Structure 1
Amino acid sequence: MSHTPNDDFPELIETMKRAAAALRDAEVPFLLGGGMAAWARGGPPTDHDVDLLLRERDAELALEALEAAGMRGERPPEGWLLKAWDGDVLVDLIFRPAGGPVDEAYFDRASELEVVALPLLVASTDDVLATKLLAMSEQDPDYRPVLEIARALREQIDWALLRERVDESPFGAAFFTLAERLRILPDAHETNHRVVPFPTRRARASGDVSGPA
């Protein structure tokens, strides 16, 4: 089964490349996060913005680097991220996602992958799912993206660790009920070890943005 990206996905890719180059030149450590990280690991293409994870102490320098690259910076009042606009495409510089601040553990769990011919540190699937689940609220309980990611990347997930991280959230607990009933959650004996294949790394390196086969 193939995933067909929306019409805006190539623009997201170009913005990701420009933002990554600007932060690399400014020597700001960062991770590709959110839906783009899931896509880079073999999941479905995202139809949202470009999420970059970084330590809070680097956030202002990162925004300045993106502004120097021609993007329009924004400092929203929320206090857990900064934003930059590349035309109509949004880059979120996230330093304090739901579940706790970006720290060394995020970088330790990440993997260096080639994404459209760029070597990037990509957030772990566990971190992508945990931050999405912990950010859910009664006003926006949309499980479609997390279920799509979980089904596509089920062998890359440390299910026991993910349950530990999100189970106190009612939305995290509900996710596990859905994953079990939809037969996404592996059998118990399968969750005792973690397998992390990257079958689509070559396609990402070649610049194919059509999603995994």
Structure 2
Amino acid sequence: MADLIARAETMRVGLAVAPVSTGTDLMIDKLLVLDAHRCDFTPLLHIARDLREQVDWARVADETADSPYARSFLRLVEALSVAEPEAVRSNR
């Protein structure tokens, strides 16, 4: 958790200033909760498209490599040209 906060960028959110998670960390967190009971890619596709340039897809692939659901999602974003194939496959 300390690493996550250390990577966060401090931004103004309304009247407060708060640490905001990176796009990469957000995608990793979202992908790691996918399982047989929670496997709806629709909201994740919206996030992936909105943040595509802000995500280190190679790191996402590396840190979610043990999840078959995450691997499937990464293949989908690759096929839809949301992420470059080289980035998604570089660490597999």
- Which bracket does the TM-score occupy, shorter chain normalised? 0.7 to 0.9
Tell me the equivalent position of 2:57.
159
> Which amino acid in structure 2 is aligned with residue 120 of structure 1?
A
Tell me the equivalent position of 1:128.
26
| Residue pair 2:8, 2:20 contacting (<8 A) in 1 also | yes
Cα distance in 2 for residues equivalent to 1:186 and 1:118:
36
Tell me the equivalent position of 1:27.
none
Please point out which of 68, 79, 85 is paired with 1:170: 68
Segments ≥4 residues shifted beyond 2 Å? 186-189
The secondary structure found in structure 2 opposite 1:168 is coil
Q: TM-score, normalised by structure 2?
A: 0.84
Cα distance in 2 for residues equivalent to 1:135 and 1:122:
20
> Which amino acid in structure 2 is aligned with residue 110 of structure 1?
A
Cα distance in 1 for residues equivalent to 2:48 and 2:15:
25
> Which amino acid in structure 2 is aligned with residue 143 of structure 1?
F
Deviations along 1:172-195, one digit per CA (max 9) or x if unpaired, are: 100111001111013637xxxxxx
Tell me the equivalent position of 2:16.
118
Tell me the equivalent position of 1:181.
79
1:111 offset after TM fit, Å? 0.5
| Residue pair 2:78, 2:85 contacting (<8 A) in 1 also | no
1:139 offset after TM fit, Å? 1.2
> Which amino acid in structure 1 is aligned with residue 4 of structure 2?
Y
Higher share in helix: 2
RMSD (Å) for aligned C-alpha atoms: 1.8
Q: TM-score, normalised by structure 1?
A: 0.39
The secondary structure found in structure 2 opposite 1:167 is coil
The secondary structure found in structure 1 opposite 2:11 is strand
Cα distance in 2 for residues equivalent to 1:139 and 1:187:
28
Size of the aligned set, in residue pairs, is 88
The secondary structure found in structure 2 opposite 1:112 is strand
The secondary structure found in structure 2 opposite 1:119 is strand
Cα distance in 2 for residues equivalent to 1:187 and 1:136:
22
Tell me the equivalent position of 1:92.
none
Gaps of 5+ in 2: 88-92
Cα distance in 2 for residues equivalent to 1:186 and 1:108:
27
1:118 offset after TM fit, Å? 2.3
